[in-house]
Amino acid sequence: MASLNTLQRQNISKTWFLLGIFFGFILLVGYALSIVLNAPGIMFAAGVFSMFSSVGSYWFSDKIALSMTRAKPVTRATHSEIYAMVDALAITAGIPTPKVYIIDDPALNAFATGRNPKNSVVAFTQGIVDTLEPKELRGVAAHELAHIVNRDMLIGTIAVILASAVAMVGRMMHMGVGSSMQGDNRGGNPVKIFIVIGLLVIAPLLASLLRFAVSRKREFLADATGAKIAGDTEGLARALERIGGDGRALRHKSEMTAHLFISNPFKSTKFSKFFMTHPPMEERIMALRGAAEHGMGSGQAMRH
């Protein structure tokens, strides 16, 4: 089984792979639009847009994700117990203490974001802070720090921004090309129509693939690594039980940020397991307790 260092390197490689897909897609859209609208300058504009969007998603992805979830920063003075807990866990994990944010929502949930361990954030809903026992909340915090240790929170955060950008480009493309087609009294050139239909199908599909590119295995790995950081499997397992039993959805949620959370913020049961951003909570709990019972490490627990 791959070591933790190997998994971390793989996650960094996936980040650059996502950025490459985004850059290529925007260039493709620019090329197609330059043909459809007979405007060669669009290709250059698309290249500039993709470059700035890619750089921006790397440097500002955490701020954008926090804004989308309406999380607010808290201080050591106002939330000393939470900061003390996160401090202790960060020392154990060997990373700088991340900033702490609170989401004013009664639902039980949490997430981590940031571009690297030195620029990272953990966010908790007020509901999870008020409801869980200290041992359980410690397990949740350790799970979120595990995402930082495993270098996979950047993948999730960048996927949020790129998926949003791709969806936005799709809408702009639809409006721009639609106007062009309306100006053609013969209903449009067949080649142009083919290009338009193809891109209008690809844009939302790529947006979905970017979100699902964040493998659900990252949650199993974060659970196992978090239990190791906390030095306690049962605390996290019990926390997951309580989170899974909470039927409340987040008030301010987005499909673009759903995979960042420790639990699906939509609490939906309408979709199959294949389309869910999170593995079933029962499987995660079984994997945790099974790993503890057999003395497995974080890498072995990923097999479940």
pLDDT at 235: 96
Position 180 pLDDT exceeds 50: yes
Position 282 pLDDT exceeds 80: yes
Read off the tokens for 142: 């350790």
Read off the tokens for 201: 């199908």
For the chain, give the mean pLDDT: 78
Tell me the pLDDT band of 185, cut-offs 50, 70 and 90: very low
| DSSP characters over 213-257 | TS-THHHHHHHHHHHHHHT-HHHHHHHHHHHHT--PPPSS--TTT
Give the Cα separation of 70 and 64 in Å (integer).
Answer: 10
pLDDT at 171: 60
pLDDT tens column, 71-125: 999 999 999 999 999 999 999 999 999 999 999 999 999 999 888 889 899 999 9
Read off the tokens for 296: 């497995």
Tell me the pLDDT band of 304, cut-offs 50, 70 and 90: very low
Position 198 pLDDT exceeds 70: no
Lowest-pLDDT range of 43-47, 66-70, 117-121, 241-245: 43-47
pLDDT at 139: 97
% of the chain at pLDDT higher than 70: 62
Give the Cα separation of 218 and 68 in Å (integer).
Answer: 22
Q: In what order do the strands lie in the sheet with 119-125?
A: 72-73, 99-103, 119-125, 110-116
pLDDT at 60: 75
The segment with the largest mean pLDDT, out of 35-44, 133-142, 290-299, is 133-142
Phi-psi region of 187 (alpha: psi -120 to 50; beta: other; left: phi over 0): left
Q: How far is CA 213 from the centre of its chain?
A: 10
Give the Cα separation of 178 and 100 in Å (integer).
Answer: 45
How far the first Cα of the chain sits from its last, in Å, is: 12
Position 286 pLDDT exceeds 50: yes
pLDDT at 285: 95
Asked if 144 is an active-site residue, the reply is: yes
% of the chain at pLDDT higher than 90: 35
pLDDT at 299: 45
The segment with the largest mean pLDDT, out of 28-37, 136-145, 212-221, is 136-145
The three-state secondary structure class of 46 is helix
144, 219, 241, 255: which one is catalytic? 144
